[in-house]
Amino acid sequence: MKSTTSFMLFAATIASFILGIILDSWVFIILTISIFSVLAIEVRGALQEEVKLKVERKSEKMSLYEDDEIWIELTIKNEGKSLNYLEIFDNLPPDIDIVEGSNHHILKVDEDEEKTMRYKIHCSRRGEMEIGPVRLRYRDPLDLHVEEWTTYELMEIFVLPEIQEMKGVNVRPIYTKSWIGNIKSQRIGIGSEFFSLREYMPEDALKKINWKATARFLEPMTNEFIGEKSGDVILIVDGHRKNIIGDAERNTLDATIRAAGSLASSILEDRNRVGLIVLGDYLRWLYPDSGRDHFYKIMEELSGVKEGGEWELEDTKWILRGFFPKRSMVVFISPLLSKDVSETLLDICMEEHNVMVISPDPLVIEKEIIDDHSPLAEKLSQLDRDVILDKLWKYSVVVDWNPNEPLEASLKEVIRYWRRS
Amino acid sequence: MEKKLKYDLNKIFLAILVLIISLGASTALIEVQGWWFPVIGGVISIFGLYLGKTKILNLGALLLVTSFFFLIQGIPFNYFNLFFIIFAFFFFFGLWIFMKRELLVSEIKNDLVGSEGINYLENYKKDSALYYLKTLLMGLLVSLTGGMIAAHSFIGPLPSGMALFLNVFFSVVILLALYSVLFLLPKYFIVE
């Protein structure tokens, strides 16, 4: 393919020749010869053979947390003839910044040679990021011959929402299920805390025999333990448009998602099962499960959440009723800007779920982004919020969370009060 | 120690060169009505170079070259002037392609953070500079040969019409024949 420069030079040759004839000037004729000589010599810059390039992209990990950095490695293998001036551009989404190296290079790749370009990226926003395609361009230094290709070598990276450590607080469901966990149940079972002694049964393991008691009663006695069980927790993330306040950098949706991620991590570590329902651009849900893989599934779902206007809390009732296990703990995370959630939450309570509401305070975010806020309006909004929170306290545990502070502190305080009462 | 590139120094050098040429041309044309033409061309080129816009750079270069024609209008035909015209052409052409290279290097440099991968750019700068010099020298050689052939064909006032066309046509054919013998044919005899 010829470039604009070669077209310009070719046009200059013709123009110079015509001017030479019209103006009867030897200067233009000599210039015609000079420009033509450049064009003729530059034939050597054109690609002589078909280009055979193999492009591969590698990364140390496929998912990372917000504000993390990773190295991306792009390897180009030339399976054809030597290429002297190969320009490479690896396309990046706008939310990704390069902190070291570059995604744009010009290099020489010899026959059967492999070249690697590395760059480190910083991901400031959660989401599903697609890196690629790779655009390749051969151009001779004079820019007379240009060839371009696009290699659809794509890579998906999940930028997971940032999570907070919550070591000192345990969000535990009231109702436990039959599988083993960390919650002490009211029944005898597998656990670590001693409950009572009973007579030895032939199927009892030897390590369960209480030798001191056996010596005292002169017959074999076995220890019995408090059964440690686990339960199901269903996180409902509110991503409805009318419940979002803030700008692209700082908003209630991001705070809600971070809270959900932190809770999921803490609850799963406590050996409970966690399910997820997201009311966002579309309705996403994950059936309760446990383990590390399930945690990453939850985080990947959360990373892709976008605000939406279709789905409301009301719509989760049929999912909870039809697909999720009964007697679970439902944690609804929302800034509570719409007043009609209380009735739906009451309905959920009636269906034998215990409900917790975590509400990132929208007023804190609003105050940060609006310079000139009216104290009266602020007071009225606070009153509205207090009314909703008071209403919800009647049948659920409510955590009024300041997103600027760790969630752990707010949760700890509320859970302590709830257990005491 | 972190390796630092001297792109800005290259840019400053090229800008000063363009400014000197344009001011020199304006001084030579001071008594002519369009004496400001080369300065405008030069300034536009420098703007193009610093803004990283190829189109502005090309426009400035075109204006500068056009003003050069004002300077040499009516120049008599002899061997000295023939060499002068060819050398001037290759000087302008070299300046233009070096400025264009500087734009590409700046673009890649702007995308680069830290020193990772800087060696690719350094290698490109070295390779392309050699390539330019080779091209310019080869072009100069071929043009001088072609110019000499053309000069031998028509010393004196230019013939008109078909004779002129044939002169140029034959010159170009001889030029191509020379070029193919010198540069293209050896490739077919080299056995790897």
Please judge whether B116 and A120 are an interchain contact, meaning their C-beta atoms are less than 8 angstroms apart.
yes
A54: contact with B, CB 8 A cutoff: no
pLDDT of residue B156: 53
Of A24, A26, A104, the CB nearest to B108: A104
Whether the CB of A143 is below 8 Å from some CB of chain B: the reply is yes
* CA nearest to B118 within chain A: A101
Nearest residue in chain A measured CA to CA from B141? A37
How far, in whole angstroms, is CA A244 from its chain's centroid? 19
Copy the structure tokens of residue B26: 């304006």
Decide: residue B183, CB within 10 A, 0-12 exposed, 13-18 middle, 19+ buried.
middle
Q: Which chain B residues in 19-48 lie under 8 Å from chain A, judged by CB atoms? A: none
Per-residue pLDDT of chain A (421 residues; tens, 9 = 90+): 667 777 788 888 888 888 877 777 888 888 888 888 888 888 777 776 778 888 999 988 888 888 889 999 999 998 888 888 889 999 999 888 999 999 999 888 888 889 999 999 998 888 888 998 999 988 887 878 888 888 888 898 999 998 888 887 888 888 777 777 666 677 777 777 788 888 888 888 888 888 998 999 888 899 888 777 778 999 999 988 888 888 887 889 999 999 999 999 999 988 889 999 998 888 889 999 988 899 999 999 999 888 887 788 888 888 888 889 888 999 999 998 877 788 888 888 888 888 999 999 999 888 888 877 788 888 998 898 899 889 888 888 899 999 889 898 888 888 887 777 6
SS3 A377: helix
A11–B contact, CB cutoff 8 A: no
Residue A421's pLDDT is 67
| Out of A32, A84, A100, closest to residue B114 by CB | A100
The residue of A3, A13, A19, A34 whose CB has the most chain B CBs within 10 angstroms, and thus the best one to mutate to test that interface, is A34
Q: Tell me whether residues A34 and B82 touch, CB distance under 8 A.
A: no
- Is B55's pLDDT higher than 90? no
Strands A114-123 and A194-199, bridge-based pairing: unpaired
What backbone torsions phi and psi does residue A333 show, to the nearest 5 degrees? Answer: -110, 115
Measured distance CA(B14)–CA(B23) in Å, rounded:
14
Q: Please give the average per-residue pLDDT across B29-43, as a whole number.
A: 82
Q: Is the ipTM of this complex over 0.95?
A: no
- Who among A40, A103, A107 is closest to B120 (CB)? A107
∠ Cα B26 B30 B32 (to 5°): 105
The answer to whether the Cβ–Cβ distance between A41 and B138 falls below 8 Å is yes
Which residue, among B143, B183, B184, would best test binding to A if mutated, counting the most A CBs under 10 Å from its CB?
B143
Q: Is B167 exposed, middle or buried (0-12, 13-18, 19+ CB in 10 A)?
A: middle
Tell whether A214 is within 8 A of chain B (Cβ).
Answer: no
A398 burial (CB, 10 Å; 0-12 / 13-18 / 19+) is buried
Give the best residue of A21, A33, A39 to mutate against chain B (max B CB count within 10 A): A33
pLDDT above 60: residue B141: yes
Contact A362, A377 (CB under 8 A): no
Residue A110 to residue A10: CA distance in whole angstroms = 31
Torsion of CA A9, A13, A16, A18, to 10 degrees: -140
- Spatial separation of the C-alpha atoms in residues B94 and B57, rounded to whole Å: 14
d(CA B49, CA B58): 10
DSSP annotation of A229 reads E
Give the per-residue pLDDT at A412: 86
> Beta strands of A13-170 (E only): which ranges?
53-59, 63-65, 69-78, 83-90, 96-101, 104-109, 114-123, 127-131, 134-139, 146-151, 155-160
Is the minimum CB–CB distance between B66 and chain A shorter than 8 Å?
A: no
So what's the pLDDT on residue B36? 82
Asked if A389 and A398 touch (Cβ cutoff 8 Å), the reply is yes
| Minimum Cα–Cα distance from A34: chain B residue | B143
Size of interface A-B (CB pairs under 8 A): 136
Q: Do A33 and B147 touch (CB under 8 A)?
A: yes
Contact between A29 and A20 (Cβ < 8 Å): yes
Rg, Å, chain B Cα set: 20
A25 contacts on B by Cβ (under 8 Å): 158
Interchain contact B49–A (C-beta under 8 A): no
Q: Tell me the C-alpha to C-alpha distance, in Å, between residue B139 and each of A13, A17, B174.
A: 14, 18, 15
Closest Cβ–Cβ partner in A38, A102, A143 for B93: A38
Instruction: Check CB contact under 8 Å for A34 and B147.
Output: yes
The predicted model scores a pTM of 0.74
> Nearest CA to CA, how far is A27 from chain B (Å)?
7
pLDDT at B66: 83
Instruction: Collect all residues with Cβ–Cβ distance below 8 Å to A390 and sequence separation of at least 6.
Output: none
**Distance from first CA to last CA of chain A, Å, rounded?**
79
DSSP string, A158-176: EEEPP----TT-----SS-
* Euclidean distance between CA atoms B49 and B11, whole angstroms: 8
- pLDDT average, residue stretch B127-144: 88
Report the residue from A35, A107, A118 with minimal CB separation from B116: A118
Rounded Cα gap, residues A127 and A302, in angstroms: 8
CB contact under 8 A, B121 and A106: yes
Q: What's the confidence (pLDDT) of residue A275?
A: 94
Chain A nearest CA to B2, separation (Å): 13
- For residue A39, the chain B residue with the least C-alpha distance is B139
To the nearest whole angstrom, how far is the Cα of B38 from the nearest Cα of chain A?
A: 19
User: Does the CB of A180 have a partner CB in chain B at under 8 Å?
Assistant: no
Q: Which residue of B has its CA nearest to A105?
A: B108
pLDDT at B75 over 90: no
* d(C-alpha A289, C-alpha A232), whole Å: 8
Across the interface, whether the CB atoms of B116 and A32 are under 8 A apart is answered no
Contact B114 A141 (CB under 8 A): no
Query: Residue B182 above 70 pLDDT?
Result: no
Residue in this structure with the two tokens 């993330």, named with its chain if needed: A237
Number of helical H runs and strand E runs in chain A: 10, 20
> CB distance A102–B113 less than 8 Å?
yes
Residue A373 is predicted with a pLDDT of 75
Interface contact flag, B183 A41, Cβ < 8 Å: yes
Please, are residues A187 and A326 in contact by the beta-carbon 8 Å criterion?
no
User: Strands A232-238 and A329-333, how do they pair?
Assistant: parallel
Tokens of A381: 């909004």
What does the pLDDT read at residue B157?
53
C-alpha–C-alpha distance, residues A226 and A186, integer Å: 7
The per-residue pLDDT of chain B, averaged, comes to: 79
Decide if A118 touches B, using CB distance below 8 A: yes
Q: What confidence category does residue B192 fall into, taking pLDDT thresholds of 50, 70 and 90?
A: very low
Phi, psi at residue B167, to the nearest 5°?
Answer: -55, -50
Task: Give the pLDDT of residue A2.
Answer: 62
CA distances to A82, A378, B177, B178, B180 from B184, in Å: 18, 82, 10, 10, 5
B97 near A CB under 8 A: yes
